[in-house]
């Protein structure tokens, strides 16, 4: 296990009715900008709860942050902040709204020429406006991490800085009851692949991180299908919500090698073809497992045994079974597991490879040895 320093400063308010907690967590003297998406919060009672909690605060709102948040939309919020003097941001929604708010917080304080360089050039973020969030879609872990993904046209890029880590996050599972089955499935699958990106690499004597990761995977395998079958079961929603947060709050990622190939290729699928983030991952991950099985053999066998109880047969047989079980789980969650499932084929691979090249994705994976040629092979294995 490598040395590490770990701190997660996000204060979590978990449970029904916890949106009320924002009243005391946001300093009274702040001018708050509530940022949200297309309006789901106005249909599921979340907006009214936020309004009630901010009854003693000076606040305004900015709506319209789209799924896969677009730079141009976010910059409109930056203009509003500068014109009207907001100094605290409250994101209310899923990963897109929270990521968009993180970028807005950084861009509003950015001294450079073009805030897009925070993403395109990975310019350091010296400061950002304080932000917090009310999560309504368990998936990304953005509610308590320092990452954000923003698009500008077909370019979908990420940046990470502790400066945009939410000060607090409200996780009320009842807010997720209004999610469509599609979004419920997306959230479970995104969280599953977050764990795999930090787990399915090579053995690093990280017994805490491994068993924690395996427990998160088992939760998602057990609870994910239940969330589709019995959508009103709040106990199921509560465990999925907390599992998704734990899947990408830094804890299972400390001191271990991390992959993220599936995500980097997935971002190109979303950027070029508009496929939901999670559905790009369920297409790409099985291909990464197949193509990189030699590099990943040790952890694939551990994954087979500890997650699926597979310990009979040759190494190859066990690995084949573990990959098959993973695909079967994705199918149970009703997400695509191949490029052909989303009507993409060989002709599209050139577009995706060119996109990876444009974004400098030439040395991916836990060993930095996945070249453009290897990514092409992964995409061909995903056909
Ligand atoms: O527009 P709104 O009203 O927010 O509606 C959203 C949107 O249409 C809707 N929704 C959210 N909560 C709802 C709801 N509908 C009904 N009831 C609710 N309670 O669901 C749709 C999708 O929302 P979105 O926020 O886009 O989904 P998700 O949370 O999956 O976020 C995806 C984004 O997160 C990024 C992805 O790249 C993508 O842009 N990611 C962020 C990460 C991070 N910051 O660490 C890591 C992830 O790997 C991921 O890349
Ligand atoms: Zn993800």
Burial 331-342 (b: 16+ CB within 10 A, else e): eebebbbbbeeb
Task: Give distance in angstroms: CA of 301 to centre of ligand 1.
Answer: 33
- Is 39 close to ligand 1, i.e. is its CB under 6 Å away? yes
What number is the ipTM of this complex?
0.99
Mean of pLDDT values over 172-197:
98
Q: What is the CATH number of the domain that holds 27?
A: 3.40.50.1970
Identify the CA nearest to 326 among candidates 303, 294, 297, 302.
303
- Is 219 close to ligand 1, i.e. is its CB under 6 Å away? no
Whole-number pLDDT of residue 12 = 98
Residue 368 falls inside a structural domain: yes
Residue 5 falls inside a structural domain: no
Residues 343, 288 share a domain: yes
Return the ∠ at Cα 311 (arms to 308 and 312), rounded to 5°: 125
- Is 183 close to ligand 1, i.e. is its CB under 6 Å away? yes
Residues 21, 99 share a domain: yes
Q: State which residues form the domain around 84.
A: 11-175
Residues 237, 150 share a domain: no
Whole-number pLDDT of residue 82 = 97
Whole-number pLDDT of residue 319 = 98
Contact 22, 90 (CB under 8 A): yes
Contact 88, 33 (CB under 8 A): yes
- Is 137 close to ligand 1, i.e. is its CB under 6 Å away? yes
Contact 291, 376 (CB under 8 A): no
Task: Give distance in angstroms: CA of 115 to centre of ligand 2.
Answer: 23
Last residue of a domain, one of 175, 190, 207: 175
- Is 190 close to ligand 1, i.e. is its CB under 6 Å away? yes
pLDDT in tens, 136-179: 999 999 999 999 999 999 999 999 999 999 999 999 999 999 99
User: Quick one: which atom of ligand 1 is closest to the CA of 187?
Assistant: 30
Query: pLDDT confidence of 234, banded at 50, 70, 90?
Result: very high
Contact 14, 171 (CB under 8 A): yes
Identify the CA nearest to 128 among candidates 73, 169, 72, 167.
167
Task: Give distance in angstroms: CA of 137 to centre of ligand 1.
Answer: 6
Query: pLDDT confidence of 58, banded at 50, 70, 90?
Result: very high
Whole-number pLDDT of residue 57 = 98
Residues 163, 200 share a domain: no
Residue 1 falls inside a structural domain: no
Residues 239, 218 share a domain: yes
Q: Ligand 1, atom 46: nearest CA belongs to which residue?
A: 140
Query: pLDDT confidence of 369, banded at 50, 70, 90?
Result: very high
Whole-number pLDDT of residue 376 = 98
Residues 134, 120 share a domain: yes
Residues 165, 29 share a domain: yes
Residue 3 falls inside a structural domain: no
Residues 112, 33 share a domain: yes
Long-range contacts of 40-43 (CB under 8 A, 24+ apart): 40/93, 40/136, 40/178, 41/92, 41/93, 41/136, 43/178
pLDDT in tens, 290-337: 999 999 999 999 999 999 999 999 999 999 999 999 999 999 999 999
| Residue given tokens 């971002």 in the structure block | 267
| Average pLDDT of the residues of the chain | 98
Number of domains in the chain: 2
- Is 38 close to ligand 1, i.e. is its CB under 6 Å away? yes
Residues 148, 212 share a domain: no
Residue 6 falls inside a structural domain: no
Mean of pLDDT values over 117-144:
97
How are beta strands 147-152 and 155-160 bridged, if at all?
A: antiparallel
Q: Which two tokens stand for residue 173?
A: 């599972």
Residues 109, 237 share a domain: no
Please report which ligand is nearest the Cα atom of 192: 2
Residue 331 falls inside a structural domain: yes
Q: Across the beta sheet with 11-14, what order do the strands follow?
A: 11-14, 168-171, 131-135, 88-93, 31-36, 58-62
Residues 375, 292 share a domain: yes
Whole-number pLDDT of residue 180 = 98
- Is 37 close to ligand 1, i.e. is its CB under 6 Å away? yes
Query: pLDDT confidence of 120, banded at 50, 70, 90?
Result: very high
Q: Ligand 1, atom 42: nearest CA belongs to which residue?
A: 140
Please report which ligand is nearest the Cα atom of 158: 1
Whole-number pLDDT of residue 55 = 98
Q: What is the CATH number of the domain that holds 245?
A: 1.20.1090.10
Contact 339, 383 (CB under 8 A): yes
Residue 234 falls inside a structural domain: yes
Mean of pLDDT values over 45-69:
98
- Is 349 close to ligand 1, i.e. is its CB under 6 Å away? no
Residues 225, 169 share a domain: no
Residue 4 falls inside a structural domain: no
């Amino acid at each position: 296990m490598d040395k590490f320093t770990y701190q997660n400063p996000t204060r979590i308010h978990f449970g029904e009715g916890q949106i009320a907690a924002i009243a005391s967590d946001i300093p009274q003297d702040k001018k708050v900008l509530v940022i949200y998406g297309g309006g789901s919060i106005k249909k599921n009672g979340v907006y009214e709860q936020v309004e009630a909690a901010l009854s003693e605060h000076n606040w305004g709102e900015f709506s319209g942050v789209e799924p896969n948040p677009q730079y141009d939309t976010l910059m409109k919020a930056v203009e509003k902040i500068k014109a009207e003097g907001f100094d605290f941001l409250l994101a209310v929604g899923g990963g897109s709204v929270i990521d968009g708010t993180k970028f807005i917080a950084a861009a509003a304080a950015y001294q450079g020429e073009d805030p897009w360089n925070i993403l395109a050039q990975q310019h350091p973020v010296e400061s950002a406006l304080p932000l917090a969030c009310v999560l309504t879609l368990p998936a990304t872990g953005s509610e308590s991490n320092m990452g954000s993904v923003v698009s500008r046209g077909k370019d979908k890029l990420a940046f990470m800085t502790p400066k945009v880590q939410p000060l607090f996050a409200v996780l009320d599972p009842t807010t997720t009851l209004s999610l469509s089955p599609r979004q419920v499935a997306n959230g479970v699958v995104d969280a599953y692949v977050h764990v795999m990106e930090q787990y399915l690499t090579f053995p690093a004597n990280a017994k805490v991180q491994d068993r924690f990761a395996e427990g998160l995977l088992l939760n998602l395998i057990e609870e994910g299908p239940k969330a589709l079958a019995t959508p009103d079961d709040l106990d199921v929603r509560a465990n999925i919500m907390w599992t998704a947060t734990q899947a990408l709050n830094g804890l299972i990622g400390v001191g271990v090698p991390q992959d993220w190939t599936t995500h980097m290729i997935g971002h190109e699928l979303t950027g070029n073809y508009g496929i939901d983030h999670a559905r790009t991952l369920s297409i790409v991950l099985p291909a990464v497992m197949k193509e990189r099985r030699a590099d990943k053999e040790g952890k694939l066998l551990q994954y087979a045994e500890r997650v699926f109880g597979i310990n009979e047969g040759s190494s190859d047989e066990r690995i084949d079974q573990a990959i098959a079980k993973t695909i079967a789980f994705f199918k149970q969650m009703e997400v695509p597991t191949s490029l052909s499932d989303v009507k993409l084929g060989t002709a599209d691979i050139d577009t995706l490879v060119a996109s990876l090249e444009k974004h400098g994705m030439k040395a991916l994976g836990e060993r930095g040895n996945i070249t453009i040629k290897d990514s092409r092979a992964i995409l061909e294995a995903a056909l």
